[in-house]
Amino acid sequence: MTLTDTAAPTRHRTGRWIDDWHPEDEEFWDKTGAKVAKRNLVWSIFAEHLGFSVWLIWSVSSAMLLAQGFEFTPQQLFFLVAIPNLVGSLIRVPYTLAVPKFGGRNWTMISAGLLLIPTLSFAFFVTRPETPYWVFCVIAATAGFGGGNFASSMANINFFYPSRLKGAALGLNAAGGNLGVAIIQFWLPVIVGGAGIFGLVKASEGGIHLERAALVYAALAVIAVLAAYFRMDNLSNAKSPVKEQLAVLRNKQTWVMSFLYIGTFGSFIGYSAAMPLLIKLNFWRQPVPDVVGIGINFAFFAFLGALVGSMARPLGGHLADRFGGARVTLVSFGGMALGTIGVLWTLSLLETFPPPPEGEQLAAIKADPSSFVYPDVLQRAVDANADVFPLFLGMFLVIFLFSGIGNGSTYKMIPAIFRTDAERASEPGTPEREEALLAGTKKASAAVGIIGAVGAIGGFLIPITFGSPWVTDPLAATKTAFLVFLGFYVICAGVTYAVYLRKPHPAKAHLSYAGVGI
């Protein structure tokens, strides 16, 4: 098939490889490409969605481990939440490189199958309270496999769509994945027998059974493997040697965008992971499972942040397609900074809880839960903080909203940057231009993995900062963390303006990205 012979069917070969793919050709796209791309996008979203759910399964389950008989400190729980994010960020690079090597459809099958490791191991050990802490650290690390799915999925879908639709397509793909965070935080408490859905669902009398959620997602992972096998495709023109892909490491724009992505996606995934524990530590008290808790139950509201951020991501891609990714990204950092100031204000209104019972006092409560009465000082502090919670939640959701918008806009910027470089290096309407655009797409897909990997490190740093071992008071640690994040967002806004929006000196105008729609 040639570029002009677009009426002919797209040629496939064994293993569902497509040998002719020209999404920039409008006639080819209308007659052939759009339908195939949409089918691959749908199942890519499904597999990535499961990956995100498994990746963040610890964000909710860690807050429920105590109810299942485990005794871990807040610092240990925050570390369990952070470990999957670290692993998920590190493996995004090899996951991205795997798409050109094995094919997008083939790698989707492999990556979905790998989700059986964290789900089945979680289901086995979570029913055994005698399991040592380090075992859970290892299991939490394998949950990071789900984080790698994002990079390979985004790199794959980037090849399927034309430049004019990449922002929307990548935004939908990412949003479908990001929604996996909200879904796991919404349904896990219900599946395992806890209270949820704003309190409409009450806790089961049979107690918490965390293994149920893991088994459900193990079954869904098998479905994802089969769906990729029967419904997805590999693209021959996505083939690219590893050396060529890693060449994007020498491009300074890769590192600038990586830095900005820490601020957008790193914030989204880090806050999503930490939010359940933040609510539990600052608004809820329950010394043992058999005592009725008081305050704000994290299971009722923790999913809202991830939901808002996920739904905002395609909006960010759409706005970036219309107004330019850099402008939208700058606005998103401004919104995140304002939201952080709002959160800090609400935190200043909170009262510090007295230390939870330990040692003999805790043992006595466990021995006779029915006789326990909450101290008046704790009851007053819990009630006062509950009054502030709507303000805290509202300000936090503002941060999630703009982080989601920033996620969509930054991912629009990545292919736009490499497309601009390709256009500057070739003449319109020439074979060289088509080759340059294809090379630019390959570079952008490789950059997606690098940038996604670096950005996801924010998902590790945020929970670690909230659980700082050098700050014994959880409320003080929370305030300190948000002050650090506020300063970072201001820096990110400055970098966005300086690199992509500020008008350059006339002598260097040809090197600038300002005004080219990025």
Structure tokens at 401: 């909203």
**In this prediction, what percent of the chain has a pLDDT beyond 70?**
90
Mean pLDDT over the full length of the chain = 85
Of the candidates 150, 136, 185, the residue with the CA atom closest to the CA atom of residue 44: 150
Q: Taking a C-beta distance cutoff of 8 angstroms, is the pair 459, 270 a contact?
A: yes
pLDDT at site 155: 81
pLDDT at site 201: 52
**Partners of 273 in the beta sheet?**
none
Query: How far is CA 50 from each of CA 61, 115, 154, 423, 430, rounded to the nearest angstrom?
Result: 16, 8, 14, 37, 42
Residue 2 has pLDDT above 50, yes or no: no
Residue 285 has pLDDT above 60, yes or no: yes
Topology (CATH) of 14-355+375-511? Growth Hormone; Chain: A; (1.20.1250)
Residue 357 has pLDDT above 60, yes or no: yes
Range in 3-12, 75-84, 277-286 with the lowest mean pLDDT: 3-12
Query: What sign does the CA torsion over 282, 283, 287, 288 have?
Result: negative
Q: What is the mean pLDDT of residues 383-398?
A: 95
Buried (b) or exposed (e) across 48-59, using 16+ Cβ within 10 A? bbbbbbbbbbbb
pLDDT at site 217: 94
**Partners of 13 in the beta sheet?**
17
pLDDT at site 4: 39
Type of residue found at 198: F
pLDDT at site 8: 45
Q: Taking a C-beta distance cutoff of 8 angstroms, is the pair 457, 262 a contact?
A: yes
pLDDT at site 3: 40
Residue 470 has pLDDT above 90, yes or no: no
Higher pLDDT, 37 or 511: 37
Higher pLDDT, 124 or 298: 124
pLDDT at site 416: 83
DSSP annotation of 74 reads: H
Q: Taking a C-beta distance cutoff of 8 angstroms, is the pair 24, 3 a contact?
A: no
Range in 261-265, 325-329, 353-357, 459-463 with the lowest mean pLDDT: 353-357
Q: What is the mean pLDDT of residues 134-148?
A: 93
pLDDT at site 175: 79
Structure tokens at 41: 């996008």
Q: What is the mean pLDDT of residues 424-435?
A: 77
pLDDT, one tens digit per residue, over 158-177 is 889 987 887 678 778 887 88
Q: How far apart are CA 327 and CA 318, in angstroms?
A: 13
What order do you get walking across the sheet with 234-235 strand by strand? 12-13, 17-18, 234-235
Structure tokens at 241: 């040697």
Residue 518 has pLDDT above 80, yes or no: no
Structure tokens at 367: 């021995």
Residue 264 has pLDDT above 50, yes or no: yes
pLDDT at site 443: 82
Of the candidates 48, 46, 57, the residue with the CA atom closest to the CA atom of residue 211: 57
Which span out of 53-57, 337-341, 407-411 was modeled with the highest average pLDDT? Answer: 337-341
The domain limits of the chain are 14-355+375-511
Q: How far apart are CA 103 and CA 238, in angstroms?
A: 8
**Partners of 284 in the beta sheet?**
295
**Partners of 295 in the beta sheet?**
284
Percentages of the chain per state (helix, strand, coil), in multiples of 5: 75, 0, 20
Q: How far apart are CA 267 and CA 332, in angstroms?
A: 12
Which span out of 17-26, 83-92, 332-341, 503-512 was modeled with the highest average pLDDT? Answer: 332-341
Q: How far apart are CA 396 and CA 388, in angstroms?
A: 12
Q: How far apart are CA 12 and CA 234, in angstroms?
A: 9
Q: What is the mean pLDDT of residues 243-269?
A: 88
pTM of the predicted model as reported, rounded to 2 decimal places: 0.80
pLDDT band for 1, please (50, 70, 90 cuts).
very low
CA angle 458, 464, 467 (to 5 degrees): 145
pLDDT band for 364, please (50, 70, 90 cuts).
confident
pLDDT, one tens digit per residue, over 75-133 is 888 888 889 989 998 898 899 888 888 999 999 999 999 999 999 999 999 988 888 99
Higher pLDDT, 241 or 2: 241
pLDDT at site 7: 42
pLDDT, one tens digit per residue, over 190-243 is 887 765 565 555 555 666 788 888 999 999 999 999 999 999 999 988 776 777
Residue 477 has pLDDT above 90, yes or no: no
Q: What is the mean pLDDT of residues 294-307?
A: 86
Query: How far is CA 458 from each of CA 85, 178, 262, rounded to the nearest angstrom?
Result: 8, 15, 5
Q: How far apart are CA 78 and CA 63, in angstroms?
A: 9
